[in-house]
Amino acid sequence: MATTPSFFETPAPAGLTGIKAWLLTHDHKRLGLMYLWAVLFWFALALVIGLLLRLELMTMGRTIMSAGVYNSAFTLHGVIMIFLFVIPGIPAIFGNFFLPIQLGTDDVFFPRLNLLSWYLYILGGLLAIVSLFTAGGFPDTGWTFYVPFSIGTKHNVPMTVFAAFILGMSSMLTGLNFITTVHRKRSPNMGWMQIPLFTWSLYATAWVQVLATPVISITLLLVIAERLLNIGLFDPGRGGDPILYQHLFWMYSHPAVYVMILPGMGVVSEIIPTFSRKAIFGYKAIVFSSMGIAIAGSLVWAHHMYTSGMSDTAIFVFSLLTFLVAIPTAVKVFSWVSTLYKASIEMSPPLLYALIFIYLFSVGGLTGLVLGAAGPDIHVHDTHFVVAHFHFTMFGGTGFAFFAALHFWWPKMFGIMYNFRRAYIAATLTTVGFLFHYVPMFILGMMGMPRRSYDYLPQFAQGNALATVGGILLFTGIALMLVNLLLSFRSRIAAPANPWGGCTLEWTVPSPPPLHNFLRQPDIQDYPYDFTEILRKS
Amino acid sequence: MAGGHDQTGSRIGMWLFLYTEIILFGGLFVLYAAYFHEYPRAFAENGRELNRVIGAANTVLLLISSFTVAASLTALRQRAQRLCMGLLAVSLGCGALFLVNKYFEWGHKFAVGLYPNSPAMAGAPAGKNIFFGLYYVITGLHGLHVLIGMSLLALSLVLVHRQRITADRVTILENSGLYWHLVDLIWIFVFPLFYLIL
């Protein structure tokens, strides 16, 4: 196996050399890695901005920045984290790299379209940077671009909104590519109930991307049209209705949070059985709950708008539907925990991250029910409670799943192993920091501290100081984690083909994989999480 | 976008893309529905300001062009390359006429001041502003799609001429045709929603 040249040594299309072998590649693995570096760049940038925001809130009054800069900074943090990190993160990096391999094929269905998606992603990012320095600077609207403020503010809203439009297109085309790949490029021996769960979660995600993204596209185009032509479609003074904007915005942006979390759940569904050496509990239940979340999650958007003056009937319906989403979500959590029960668990950094994911995501999910219930929501709407809930799901959830995926597939992508000790320390530090950072925000929110506010009353001082200390710990932990991964390039400890004892197809090929992934048509197991062969060999 | 020789796969990709286009316009139709519910009287009154003759002519033009695009595909399958190119040229001509009509229609509206923020519409009732705002946004976006569709048809025409699209490799022509049908289909909804409100 060691003699097979890896995809690093074989450019595709053949004949490309140097940087061109990357920039013009059709190889899904190279594109996955190109996404990896681009996404990590944006993640690091938004992380630093997040830390600066937290430092500003450490003490009352002005600490390190002015109120205007603060407004732009939290918008920038949100826009980058949402559109450039969380949405593309797991699908574009690990999905591109592993979806074709898990399906037993050599590439995605539209390799050139895949390259186009990457360029759209880069273009969107560049536009966001340009909008920082042109025509009034980065928007101060928050990542939601709510009208009428986004129409009226002097900051450079149109370009930022256009950047989000381009990024949406990139994500939509990736989704389109994945759906077609799952249908048409799947190994002929692989039935629907033999597809690994990570790929299943990407399939569900891709449908939401294709279904929902065009709604945000048109909404963002309307914001641009309003800015440039001043039509008045959302201006109550001229017959427009700003609430309609909120409906259109959340019709995409709520399903989008499932675009963000479903791939993370897929990652965890791979890691838990692998390190339990045990078939996953309720494979079909997890598959159907992914699709269930994708469907139910598309029908709950107006739970962001309980205080907007909607009718009570609408609030009741949306609240009920929101509670329904909790059911498939809980099915997954129970399945993971049941997989661990009486298993032969082997601790490793990916498993530690996955376990932390389950814990933090459960807290995020349960506090989501507090917000989804129409009554309590009135009390905590637009407070730091929402900020804490959102970060528990998106950061404690998707973020930690992303870290877990990095540690799980790093040896496969690069063929090298990282230092476990430092990985454990980083994971612990990150988690402790995370809890000190966000738990005080729940309490501050219950006490009534509004979100997106530059200054606060004296009774909130203690909680904010504590949260900032947590934020610094969190930042240190993540920095240590990334440094540890990067140091593996220096030590270059070779990783075997199957370091973890996984039984999906990516662990049957060399690390890193060869250009066409498989040297011969792969054998498909009857059941994707059958560990008897792995256990027999060990 | 040639995914090997799996034409079904390419078609699935194209249908998914068409689906996203429908949702894109769907967002605008949601706005239309909400505002029609709010201002039914204004929508009906101002709908009469639109020129039904030109609107109907444009509908017929797009229907004819859809037919010729479909026929061009059949012609190519029967290896009648010249006929295929002729039919594509007719479709392009219909598309161009559609845009010319649109130009005169919009031009006339601008001349009489029927557009948002015009001096003539200052102080006009809210429903009127919304109706014409939506009219320009939806027909404008549709016009943009006509242009994109025509570019795709023109590209197909060139490729048929160069024999890059042949009876055995019809994917690009087929997908361009599907896109053109979508442009037609959206107009079939836009036309009654604006021109034929009772």
Q: Compute the Cα dihedral for A268, A272, A274, A279 and give only its sign.
A: negative
CA distance to partner chain A, nearest, from residue B14 (Å)? 9
pTM: 0.93
Structural domain boundaries enclosing B84: 7-195
Cβ-based neighbours of A285, under 8 Å, separated by 6 or more: A331, A335
Residue tagged 């200390």 (tokens): A469
Beta bridge partner(s), residue A493: A417
Min Cα separation A236/chain B (Å): 9
Burial pattern A295-323, b for ≥16 Cβ within 10 A else e, equals bbbbbbbbbbbbeeebeeeebebbbebbb
Contact with chain A for residue B121, Cβ under 8 A:
no
Q: Report d(CA A200, CA A184) in Å as an integer.
A: 15
Q: What does the pLDDT profile of chain B (198 residues) look like in tens digits? A: 344 568 889 999 999 999 999 999 999 999 999 999 999 999 999 888 888 999 999 999 999 999 999 999 999 999 999 999 999 999 999 999 999 999 999 999 888 888 888 888 877 888 888 999 999 999 999 999 999 999 999 999 999 999 998 888 899 999 999 999 999 999 999 999 999 986
H/E stretch holding A244 reads helix A242-276
Contacts of B18 in chain A (CB under 8 A): none
Q: Considering the domain boundaries, does residue B109 fall inside one?
A: yes
3-state secondary structure of A370: helix
Residue B122 in any domain: the answer is: yes
CATH 1.20.210.10 fits A20-103+254-537, yes or no: yes
Domains in chain B, number = 1
Candidate from B24, B127, B137 with C-beta closest to A231: B137
Residue B182 forms contact with A (CB below 8 Å): no
**Residue A106: Cβ within 10 Å count:** 17
Among A180, A203, A209, the strongest candidate for a mutation testing the B interface, having the largest count of B CBs within 10 A, is: A180
pLDDT of residue A3: 64
**pLDDT for A1:** 44
Question: Mind telling me how many Å the CA of B29 is from chain A's nearest CA?
Answer: 11
Residue of B155, B185, B181, B175 whose CA lies nearest to B68: B181
CA A276 to chain B, closest CA, distance in angstroms equals 37
3-state secondary structure of A311: coil
Which chain A residues contact residue B27 at CB under 8 A? 214-215, 217-219, 222, 248, 251
Nearest-by-CA chain A residue for B123: A238
| DSSP output for A65-113 | S-HHHHHHHHHHHHHIIIIIIIHHHHIIIIIHHHHHHHTT-SS-S-HHH
CA distance A452 to A467: 15
ipTM comes to: 0.90
Rounded Cα distance, B79 and A47, in Å: 60
Q: Which of B5, B11, B16 to mutate to test the interface with A (most CBs of A within 10 A)?
A: B16
pLDDT value of position A169: 94
Residue B1 is predicted with a pLDDT of 39
B6 interfaces chain A, CB cutoff of 8 Å: yes
Cα–Cα distance, A159 to A252 (Å, whole number): 20
**Are the C-beta atoms of residues B95 and B150 closer than 8 Å to each other?**
yes
CA distances from A125 to A22, A129, A135, A170 (A): 19, 6, 17, 11
B129 interface with A at CB cutoff 8 Å: yes
Q: Is B34 touching A (CB cutoff 8 A)?
A: yes
What is the CB neighbour count within 10 angstroms for residue A369?
15
Please state, in angstroms and rounded to a whole number, the distance separating the CA atoms of residues A2 and A10.
15
Please report, in tens digits, the pLDDT of each residue of chain A (538 residues total): 446 788 888 887 887 888 888 999 999 999 999 999 999 999 999 999 999 999 999 999 898 999 889 999 999 999 999 999 999 999 999 999 999 999 999 999 999 999 999 999 999 999 988 888 887 778 888 888 888 888 877 788 888 889 999 999 999 999 999 999 999 999 999 999 999 999 999 999 999 999 889 999 999 999 998 888 888 888 888 888 989 999 999 988 898 898 899 999 999 999 999 999 999 999 999 999 988 888 888 899 999 999 888 888 999 999 999 999 999 999 999 999 999 999 999 999 999 999 999 999 999 999 999 999 988 999 999 999 999 999 999 999 999 999 999 999 999 999 999 999 999 999 999 999 999 999 999 999 999 999 998 999 999 999 999 999 999 999 999 999 999 999 999 988 999 999 999 999 999 999 899 988 998 889 898 899 999 888 888 7
Nearest to B133 among A112, A113, A232 (CB): A232
Residues B31, A233: C-beta atoms closer than 8 Å: yes
Partners of B35 on chain A (C-beta within 8 Å) are 239, 241
CATH code, domain carrying B103: 1.20.120.80
Per-residue three-class SS string for A492-528: CEECCCCCCCCCCHHHHCCCCCECCCCCCCCCCCCCC
Q: What are the backbone angles phi and psi of residue A514, rounded to the nearest 5°? A: -70, 170
Q: Following DSSP, what letter does each residue of A131-161 receive, concatenated?
A: HHHSTT-S--S-TT--TTHHHH-SS-HHHHH
Give the containing element (helix H, strand E) for A417. strand A416-417
For the record, the structure tokens of B68 come out as 């010729």
Question: pLDDT value at position A151?
Answer: 81
Q: Which one-letter amino acid corresponds to residue A62? A: R
Rounded Cα distance, B137 and A232, in Å = 12
Report the residue of chain A nearest B28, measured CA to CA.
A218
User: Are A121 and A170 a contacting pair, CB within 8 Å?
Assistant: yes
Token output for A472: 């610094």
